[in-house]
Structure 1
Amino acid sequence: MLNEMRALTVSELTHQIKQQLEGTFFHCVVEGEISNIAFPASGHVYFSLKDSGASLRVVAWRTQAGKFRELLRQGEKVEIRGSITLYAPRGEYQLVANQVSPQGVGALYAAFEKLKNQLRLEGLFEPFHKKTIPAHPRKIGIITSQSAAALQDVLKTLRLHRPDIETVLYPSLVQGADAPASIVNALNIANTRAEVDVILLVRGGGSIEDLWAFNDEAVARAIFASTIPIISGIGHETDTTIADYVADLRAETPTMAAKLSAVSQDELRQALDLFEMRMTGVVREKVTKYRRYLHRLSLRLQAQQPAHFLKESRQTLGYLSEKLEHLMLKRLSCYQQQLTNYEARLNPRHLVGQQAMLLQQLSGLESRMADAVKRKQTQEEQRFEALVGRLNNLNPLAVLSRGYSAVKSGDQLISSVALVNQGDELTIVLSDGEVIARAETIIPHENSPHNKGI
């Protein structure tokens, strides 16, 4: 059986082992003690990780080593996260380190993730809870240790960034078992005094244990309850704490937190320069507009000068004088023509002929008037007789004179048997008098709608 197996080259075997090894241990966590550490000029870090039973070669490439270089010390017990690779030329496998933390930090990470998930579910990280950072705060509060290098970095940055803004320090512990309560107390003092517009919660870099106070639940809830906006600037760019998640704004470093706390004076200068440029444009436009307006007024004033006005008035007066003279001559000519006509009409011979003609017309008019009056009189007499005949036909007395009578009960004229009751006293009106009677029997006609069956 062994004779039938194909022989593998060293490279082929190493390649298969490499595939199996790297495919199985592409992500692993190993703990042990650092030994044989070396820092060559390339920037990479080489060392061994050992325990009582074995030793493992470890390499930290330059791109990653800077994140945890301070933890890489001879004899330090650490926990390394990374992947296994096989270096074929020497046939050696090694661990490529991506993250290094002191041994035992894994429990801290578990606690960190547990609290983070709990607070996330409660909504403490939600964006709609974040308060707006004012662009131009009057005062900036700083919560950190009085002796911290981060405080000096923040103050220096603010002096360059916004020297006009006053700062208020609320001293607090930022490391150790008493730090969480101290931070909460500083936050409460700042909110009680309400003298600042934004708070910077800052601390310099360090290990996860150094920054653990900012992963405390009480600190997170105090940040969330703050009525003053909070900017967190804790550790380095790669450090993220629970406080960063809850804060209204997270800065990568304390220096960056100072820069984010207010609009810089350079930005203000740029805004002022832009405003000045815009205002200059507006003023220039206004000046140009009013210059044009003044020019139009100047032209109108020149047109209304007394000499110009007098010249126009003289021209108008000359035109009106000529027009008046023409009208007067025309009117005088008309009057002369009328006077000539009146003189001709007042001539005696013309008057005699006119008198005879008017007398003849008057005689004809008198004859026509007499005929018209006679015809009108005849028409009115005929119309009067017709009206008298119609009036007689409508006169109740004329009807009574033909044998008819009218019956009344009191002042009411009786037009139906329904208006009379048996025993009623009735007045019968005749053409030449009245008869008083009493109703003994009421007999309605058979076809009368008022037949009561009497």
Structure 2
Amino acid sequence: MSLPQNNKVYTVSRLNREIRSLLEQGFASLELTGEISNFVAPASGHWYFSLKDEKAQIKAAMWRGNNRYCKYRPENGAQVQVKARVSVYEPRGDYQLIVEQMAPAGEGLLKQQFEALQMQLAAEGLFNSFHKKPLPQQINRIGVVTSATGAAIKDILSVLKRRAPQLEITIYPSLVQGKEAAAQIAEKIALADKRNEVDVLIVGRGGGSLEDLWCFNEEVVARAIFACTLPVISAVGHEIDTTISDYVADLRAPTPSAAAELVSPDSSELISYVKDRKQRLAIALKRTLYDEQQHVARLQQRLSLQHPRNQLMQQEQRVDELQQRLLRALQYQQQKQHHKVNVLEHALLKFHPEKRLSNAKAKLDRLTSTLYNTMAQHSASQQNQLALLAARLDSVSPLAVLSRGYSITQKNNHVVTSIADVKVGDTLVTQLADGQIHTQIKDIAKLK
């Protein structure tokens, strides 16, 4: 079976290179938060770690050119917010984050969520100017979605009482802070829209921290404002505060008091109209500026793809990886050689001359003792045998016979055993126990 012919056959390296190019162009810059784990800072100065949440994780690298400006020293288990781009480490085909900035998570997380939702809703067109509804030329009834006891409603009522006390005001009381506030605000906006009993709707509250104003950055509030058929004025916080509801609303007022002035007739109606247009223009310019900034960022990213620094960083990361593998291999070889030395030392101790001399000396002592014992036993045995032989010899000794009264007669050193051996005139020597007697034969008498 043969494979079908394909003019575009990829190598692995080419595939990884093209995937890297696609990821780096598609995710030129993003911000995200997560928990640091597996943090490593080798001698090269680069940082390698993983960024994870409760469901997933991704590898990340922060080059020394960026981390030297980081005032925060990361550690395992820390929650951080990073600005990064997505890339691929081509030798292993691992996709990873190239981190450019890092800071502890906290308010930064809220800002990240704010920017993420802002981009999402802007992409969906919720901020587009052609969706904005103009304020009615004649306003007689005003609805207000806010806290019934907060400073915002007091300021609004004070301004309306001073500028246009004839206006009808309907309050749709709601929480404007806390976890349940966003749902209540969205519910009251929908209620006012359903009743259709006012000409314009003010949604807002007084100033506070980013966390205090966060319910006006929730998606449910933004979509409720966008879906409302009534003209909606967002009046959240102070003039410097900006929320998602400001972008979605038909008009943004810098404060609740300013919102009351916008909806109340005044001799300076033309000025209010100009302010409204100015506000719209500012939002449009800000949106245009944001789009252009994103376009510039994408162009910079495409330019950076051609920069040798990226390849150099990839190679440095590869060097760091090989260095760590070499270090582990050296440690393994060192342990292996150390074990071998221990085995050889143990074997050497078994054949050490000192130990062999000690064993030989002990063996010599045992052999010497055995030799002495054997010699003593042999000597005693020989002495006993000698004594037995001496006794046996003594029993057959002629001297012993002589001592019992016997004698030996010799002629010319030959023992005379018969009278036939001598003749008259011979000289005989008689051996007694205590001496010899020399005699000369005068006569020979034979037994009859």
| TM-score normalised by the chain length of structure 1 | 0.37
Of structures 1 and 2, the one scoring higher in RCO (CA 8 A, sep 6+) is 2
